[in-house]
Amino acid sequence: MLIFSPVLSLLALPALVLAAQGSAHERLVKLAAENNGIIKLDTTTFDLLTSPKRDWSASVHFTALDKKRRCGPCREFNPSWVAVAKAWSKVPSSARDSHFFATLEFEENHATFQKMGVQSAPVIMNFRPAAGPRKSAEHGTPVHYDLSSGLDAQPLAEQLSAFTPVPIPFRPPVDWTKWGTVLFFALSGALSFRFVAPVLRNRWVWAIITVFTSLVMTSGYMFTRIRGMPMAAPDGSWIAQGFQTQYGQETTVVATLYGLLSAGFLMLILVAPLQTFAFYLWSGIVFVLFSVLVSFFKVKNRGYPFKLIL
């Protein structure tokens, strides 16, 4: 019998490992179930989750939600993350338990952030299985989620589905507020049509709409919207340096300048012929504002060689 015992223990070793593995897996499943499908990680559970013998995959969300970190994108991104993780918790347990969603908060895990070389947040790393049937050849390096596709849940779910055993059944929630607002305005518009109709038939209402739109559009409003430019720089300056860029404040100023200059010409055509004072007033305004505009342009385009009185 003595001879057999080492053999037996040898035989028992894989089983023990399996048991340890099994218990780690069970623990992770339990942790995930406790918190709506997202494991809240600390240093030990992080090592557990990313153990080199894992036969599961995991998506780990490195974030800094603490108020004093002032991470705007983190807070903006978190709901998407929670929604996708919640969608994943709806799949049958056979598939669900082989991929985990986990969050690592910076405040409590400086060391792990440092270890993984994460210097900004939010970051998502996808760990592929290192063992088992879904074993990946490149399990050593986690794959970063590409945040350039935006902070929305939809692209997140699509891209993370590449790492889960079955695609994440995420459906964007119906935006009831949006539909409600649309419905409300449609209904109130239909009901009040009798009163609104004369306004709609008035050409000057349309003139104001048209002129306002073209003023705003030709002042670079779409640029600030598409590029997400702020109203002004953090240090308070409101003119962006460079010809191909601008801040939101510039749109307002330029649109006002254009509007006033336009109004000046209209006054000269329509009103000033009848009033000498208005004539001098608007002629002066047009000249001065045009000089202001040119000098403003000179700030944006330093090589511009011309100027008026300013």
Residues numbered 35-64 forming contacts with another protein, rule: CB under 8 A: none
Please check whether residue 37 is in contact with residue 83, taking contact to mean a CB–CB distance below 8 angstroms.
no
Size of the site for another protein (CB under 8 A): 71
Nearer to another protein, 186 or 266 (CB): 266
> Footprint of another protein on residues 169-198 (CB under 8 A)?
none
256 binds another protein per the rule CB under 8 A: no
Which of 26, 34, 108, 146 forms a contact with another protein (CB under 8 A)? Answer: 146
Local structure of 270: helix, strand or coil: helix
214 binds another protein per the rule CB under 8 A: yes
Local structure of 24: helix, strand or coil: helix
Taking the complex as a whole, how short is the minimal distance between the CB of residue 302 and another protein, in angstroms?
11
Look up residue 30 and give its two tokens. Answer: 């339990």
Extract the runs of DSSP E, i.e. beta strands, from 55-195.
57-63, 99-105, 123-127, 143-144
Sign of CA dihedral 77, 79, 85, 88: negative
* Cα 203 to Cα 211: distance, rounded to the nearest angstrom: 12
Nearer to another protein, 45 or 252 (CB): 252
> Footprint of another protein on residues 217-246 (CB under 8 A)?
217-223, 225-227, 243-246
The count of residues in the chain is: 310
Q: Which residues pair with 125 in a beta bridge?
A: 60, 144
Nearer to another protein, 105 or 250 (CB): 250
Which of 15, 265, 309, 310 forms a contact with another protein (CB under 8 A)? Answer: 265
Look up residue 85 and give its two tokens. Answer: 């993780």
165 binds another protein per the rule CB under 8 A: no
* Cα 48 to Cα 100: distance, rounded to the nearest angstrom: 12
Which of 211, 233, 285, 292 forms a contact with another protein (CB under 8 A)? Answer: 211
Region from 43-51, 59-67, 96-104, 145-153 binding another protein, contact rule CB under 8 A: 145-153
